[in-house]
């Protein structure tokens, strides 16, 4: 009982998440212009990906589960893409 400890994978994932958090904060203070926004979202996506693949175990689940996990994000992209299209293309 006392010999149990969490797997290395979990520790590594946590460490990676902390590193990415530090990275995103640091980069936020760099003058990258428009790319600040892009970088922030990209790092967020990476962090979310780690949580989903490691903590939520999507890394070793069948394709159906992964499809379900992806569906929400895919549909959100429809909302954002087609929705913003109006605002972005107004005269």
Partner 1 sequence: MKNYLTDDYTLRSWFFTTDHKRIAILYFASLILLFFIGGAAATMIRIELATPRADLVSSDTYNRLFTMHGIIMVWFFLIPSIPNTIGNFIVPLMIGARDLAFPRLNLASWYLFMLGAAITLLAIFMGGVDTGWTLYTPFSTLYSNSYVAVAAAGIFVAGFSSILTGLNFIVTIHKLRAPGLTWYRLPLFIWSLYATSVILVLATPVLAITLVLLAAERIFGIGVFDPRIGGDPLLFQHLFWFYSHPAVYIMILPGMGVVNELITCYSRKKIFGYKFVAWASLAIALAGFLVWGHHMFVSGQSLTASLVFSFMSFVVAVPSAIKVFNWTATLHKGTLRFDAPMLYALGFIGLFTMGGLTGLFLACLAFDVYATDTYFVVAHFHYIMVGGMVTAYFGGLHYWWPKITGRMYPEYWARAAAILIFLGFNLTFFPQFILGAEGMPRRYHVYPPEFQVWNVLSSGGATILAVAYLMPLFYLGYSIFFGAKAPANPWGATGLEWQTPSPPPKYNFERQPVVSAPPYDYEHAPEPQNV
Partner 2 sequence: MSEPGDIAAHLSSPKQRDEVLELGMWTFLSTEILLFGGLVMTYMVYHHADPVSFAEAGRQTRIVIGTINTAVLLTSSFCVAAAIQAGQAGAVRPLKGLLVVAIVLGLIFLGLKGVEYAGEYSDHLVPGVDFAQSGPHAQGIRLFFIFYFLATGLHAIHLLCGIVVLIVFLRCARQVVRRPRYLAGLRTAGLYWHFIDVVWIFLYALIYLPGRSG
DSSP for 4-53 reads ----HHHHHHHHHHHHHHHHHHHHHTS--TTHHHHHHHHHHHHHHHHIII
Residues 6+ apart with CB under 8 A from 42: none
Long-range contacts of 4-9 (CB under 8 A, 24+ apart): 9/54
Q: Is 62 among the residues that bind partner 1 (CB under 8 A)? A: no
Q: Is 1 among the residues that bind partner 1 (CB under 8 A)? A: no
Q: Is 87 among the residues that bind partner 1 (CB under 8 A)? A: yes
Q: Is 63 among the residues that bind partner 2 (CB under 8 A)? A: no
Q: Applying CB under 8 A, which residues contact partner 2?
A: 1, 4-7, 10-11, 13-14, 17-18, 21, 24-25, 28-32, 36-37, 40-41, 43-44, 47-48, 51-52, 54-56, 61, 64-65, 68-69, 71-73, 75-76, 79-80, 83-84, 87-88
The binding site for partner 1 (CB under 8 A) comprises: 64, 71-72, 75, 78-79, 82-83, 85-87, 89-91
């Amino acid at each position: 009982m006392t010999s149990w400890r969490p797997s290395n994978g979990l520790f590594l994932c946590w460490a990676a998440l902390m590193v990415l958090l530090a990275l995103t904060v640091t980069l936020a203070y760099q003058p990258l212009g428009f790319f600040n926004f892009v970088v922030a979202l990209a790092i967020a996506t990476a962090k979310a990906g780690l949580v989903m693949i490691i903590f939520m175990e999507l890394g070793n689940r069948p394709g159906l589960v992964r499809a379900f996990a992806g569906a929400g994000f895919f549909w959100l992209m429809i909302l954002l893409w087609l929705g913003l299209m109006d605002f972005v293309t107004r005269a």
